[in-house]
Chain A
């Protein structure tokens, strides 16, 4: 069955640097991938969606790529700020478009 994997280890970077988070899937390419941000004690908040036929999507300081050859999506935050510290979740919609399946998330810590 399809699995989605994110690095469970926290990513620590310095303010101003670019943070890059990885999401890998195991089998078929999903129609699209979504990225969410989750702060402690809060529900996830949608950030970006990228379709299978799109290589890259941008929104302000955020950029998402989708490489169907590598079966991977990368999520970048440029000019990172301490306020970007949170857990970032990758998710794909199953083929029936009935449920969003999440990875475990990667915690990002941006130090001043």
Chain B
């Protein structure tokens, strides 16, 4: 596709459940980012991939959060034992590292933990 695609667009789950959020970046973009955005706040950095490896995962809040990008394209953000505080919009972005860092964002996955 032409842009960054994220699925699902909405996910409602119960506390304690496991959730996977998927991101399909723009074709050819080597860098992929996950951000989390709460209401009234700016996007908060979670993790950055360069190719298949996580170059910076310093934003992951705890070990319940994990992300993979096994083939250097699609990425999955995994959240174990979800808590109500995990409710937010999870944004994915990609870019070409040759440029100055302009990020192309998807529309986000809205996660609600009941």
Residues in A lying within 8 Å of B, measured CB to CB: 6, 8, 32, 34, 41-46, 49, 89, 91, 93, 96-105
Contact = CB atoms under 8 A, between A and B. Distances in A.
A99 B43 contact: no
B41 A100 contact: no
Nearest to A103: B42
B45 A100 contact: yes
Q: Give the most central of A6, A43, A44, A45: most B CB within 10 Å.
A: A43
Interface residues of B, number: 24
Interface of B: 4, 33, 35, 40-45, 48, 55-56, 59, 91, 93, 100-108
A25 to B, nearest CB: 13
B54 to A, nearest CB: 11
Contacts of A8: 40
Contacts of A34: 101-102
A32 B105 CA distance: 19
A34 B44 CA distance: 15
A78 to B, nearest CB: 23
A42 B59 CA distance: 22
